[in-house]
Amino acid sequence: MVAGMKDVYTIFCKVHSDRNVYPSAGVLFVHVLEREYFKGEFPPYPKPGEISNDPITFNTNLMGYPDRPGWLRYIQRTPYSDGVLYGSPTSENVGKPTIIEITAYNRRTFETARHNLIINIMSAEDFPLPYQAEFFIKNMNVEEMLASEVLGDFLGAVKNVWQPERLNAINITSALDRGGRVPLPINDLKEGVYVMVGADVPFSSCLREVENPQNQLRCSQEMEPVITCDKKFRTQFYIDWCKISLVDKTKQVSTYQEVIRGEGILPDGGEYKPPSDSLKSRDYYTDFLITLAVPSAVALVLFLILAYIMCCRREGVEKRNMQTPDIQLVHHSAIQKSTKELRDMSKNREIAWPLSTLPVFHPVTGEIIPPLHTDNYDSTNMPLMQTQQNLPHQTQIPQQQTTGKWYP
């Protein structure tokens, strides 16, 4: 770690007690949850020298709450990697112990183990640092950047370019938390990470090169700007210089304004005084009756009017028949009678056959001819006009041939 850089790294020690850490406000805090420590918490307990590789996941939350504080983040890529708590404590929590409950789950045996992490946030003398710069590193994931060796190398490169007396890592944020997309699993693409650092001296000329018009134009055309000190980072870190952010706290004007009371601002009414418990009880029975009786009476009147119109104002069938011509009534009655007869016939299939289908005598031999169709014959498909065919027992009509002779 470069001298003058303040970063808090803690690792669980194998002691069955609460762990106390003392990070500083405004300085990056990193706490590693080692799987090797929690492996000894799950039965069957491994013997000395025995290696176990059970999948272990962690759940972290503020004691008494379902989630962590807003400034604290947690990441664990796979159940076979260590978990990391990281974030930048705020000055509002200085002097207030923050208890984080850490629950480890063994995904093979479904055993659990719980420990508490007590975070005691201390105030920093140089907080906040007046000059802050945020870099976007394209070839890193957040858990890779949180490693102490990698972060130390990055801060060393920044110090060589910036040359400050004090340099601190303030915060680290994944590009996914800033609205970035998950990269495709090709060519070893990374998510990208934002790293904010602070120093006590103004920005160097190299860092301000991105602000000149030529580089701004290249950034607007999605081209890489020309930065002279990029080679000091390129060996390990690919920085997107178009996304660098330089903040000078010394030039920021305070936005606080004293409230001047006037039009549109209500005067101070003092503290709110809730009503006392000695209020008189109110009888709502009368209000209930009025609310229920009035709509019921209106509905009853409307019902009576509708019943009178529908039942008492009917003209009746006799008056209708008196106003209808007799010939129309006769036609209507005949149609109804025929319709009724057809319906009765369709219901009863055992009625007698029409006279046209009854047995008749043969005109020549005098023998009785049976009906053309049997009782079970489906007459619904019979054509209206029969074709002339030589049916049995049918008298053939002589026809005249071309020779002038007659043949039976």
User: Class for domain 19-121, per CATH?
Assistant: mainly beta
Give ranges for CATH 2.60.40.10 in the chain. 19-121
Q: Give the per-residue pLDDT at 172.
A: 93
**CA atoms of 77 and 237, how far apart (whole Å):** 21
5-19, 88-102, 232-246, 386-400: which has the minimum mean pLDDT? 386-400
- Mean pLDDT value of segment 195-206: 91
Q: Give the per-residue pLDDT at 16.
A: 47
- Mean pLDDT value of segment 77-104: 90
pLDDT classification of 406: cutoffs 50, 70, 90: very low
Cβ neighbours of residue 389 closer than 8 Å, sequence gap 6 or more: none
The pLDDT tens digits for 100-145 are 999 999 988 888 889 999 999 988 776 678 899 999 999 899 999 9
pLDDT classification of 3: cutoffs 50, 70, 90: very low
Burial classification of residue 8, based on how many CB atoms lie within 10 Å of its CB (0-12 exposed, 13-18 middle, 19 or more buried): middle
Q: Which residue has the tokens 């990391």?
A: 84
Fill in the DSSP letter of residue 97.
E
**CA atoms of 241 and 155, how far apart (whole Å):** 16
Considering the chain, what is the average pLDDT of its residues? Answer: 79
